[in-house]
Amino acid sequence: METPKARLALTIDERIDEPGNIARVRLRALDGAPLPPFTAGAHLDVHIRDADVDLWRQYSLCSDPAETAFYEIGVLRDPNSRGGSETLHRIVRTGGTLEVEGPKNHFPLNEAAPQSLLFGGGIGVTPMIAMARRLHALGQDFALHYCTRSREVTAFRDALAAAGLADAVVYHHDDDAATRLDLDAVLAEARDGVNVYVCGPQGFMDWVIGRAGAFGIDDACIHREFFSADVDVSGEAFEVVAERSGVTVSVGAEDTIAKALARAGVEVEVKCEEGVCGTCVTDVLDGEIDHRDHFLTADEREDGDQMCVCCSRARGKRLVLDL
């Protein structure tokens, strides 16, 4: 787990409204100083505050990792979200400021892979753009498969062309049979040792991950990042002991561990509330975990000694946490 990064107040240097209800937001230091470096696949935690909205959300960096003068993120305006993207689209204006934490990277690029296949679905293309920039700079073998509903809602075309990536990007559109992604054909031509990266809607990701596995690509070479997830936090009631705090709480059928602990005065930092960002990962001292997150790896789940308390639950009647 990475050491938490300090919070930064960044100025909104530019907002570019891309097709598909996506805002490309460029951020700089208030004093113009160089920003902390980041690696391809990294994201920022962005604090979204306006009126009664007070949320943290994660946005992948799509700018060049070699660039330290500014960061760029892409924000999809999603009316079905819990208010974060709608609020950002409303409040982000050139000259304003945003509070962020990071950069943080839970989706790192294997720069030594003999080949990299990048699959971005909709706004999930943003970390892939930074990866493509880095792989292009290294002269590595790669392709970026960018999937959208139609050409008319495909963002970042100008930015990708300006970065010299036009020849490395293959555009796929659901409404055009001639360009739809033939995933099996792409995977059938993959080189030995290929690394696959995927980010996008959950159904799209499940499809890519499943087919990559079916083609014999080792799970360790299939890299994924969920920007959101449907998560069911409900279940049977159970007890949670915060060992170091000496506090015991009951977690109800529709409750979460993090919320139950917070009511008892034991604060656990929570940001995404969907088990995708890893902020709330907590060590488990005793008890069996019902993992509901999309953050921990299969090996980490198998170890059974940590969990995402924003959404995961107990399989039995009791969990003891190192809190």
Cα dihedral: 211, 212, 213, 217 (round 10): 160
Q: Where in the chain is the domain with CATH 3.10.20.30?
A: 238-321
Quick: pLDDT tens for 194-250.
999 999 998 999 999 999 999 999 999 999 987 766 678 899 999 999 999 999 999
What Cα–Cα distance (Å) separates residue 219 from each residue in 121, 186, 190, 196, 295?
20, 18, 15, 9, 15
Flag whether pLDDT at 2 surpasses 50: no
Q: Give Cα 99 to chain centroid, integer Å.
A: 18
Flag whether pLDDT at 292 surpasses 70: yes
Question: Is the separation of the CB atoms in 42 and 104 below 8 Å?
Answer: yes
Specify the CATH number of the domain 116-225: 3.40.50.80
CATH superfamily of domain region 7-104: Translation factors (2.40.30.10)
- Burial label for 321, CB within 10 Å (0-12, 13-18, 19+), is buried
Identify the weakest region by mean pLDDT among 74-88, 141-155, 273-287, 288-302: 74-88
Q: Where in the chain is the domain with CATH 3.40.50.80?
A: 116-225
Residue 298: Cβ within 10 Å count: 10
Mean pLDDT, rounded, of the chain: 93
pLDDT of 5 reads: 55
Assign residue 304 a region (left: φ > 0; alpha: ψ between -120 and 50; beta: otherwise): left
Quick: pLDDT tens for 60-95.
999 999 999 999 999 999 877 666 889 999 999 999
Measured between alpha carbons, how far is 68 from 104 in angstroms, rounded to an integer?
A: 15
| CATH class for the domain made up of 238-321 | alpha beta
Identify the weakest region by mean pLDDT among 111-125, 168-182, 296-310: 296-310
Q: Where in the chain is the domain with CATH 2.40.30.10?
A: 7-104
Closest CA to 147 of 168, 126, 166, 119: 119
pTM for the predicted model, two decimal places: 0.84
pLDDT of 228 reads: 65
Question: Which DSSP category does 36 fall into?
Answer: P
Question: Is the separation of the CB atoms in 134 and 111 below 8 Å?
Answer: yes
pLDDT of 3 reads: 44
Average pLDDT over residues 293-317: 91
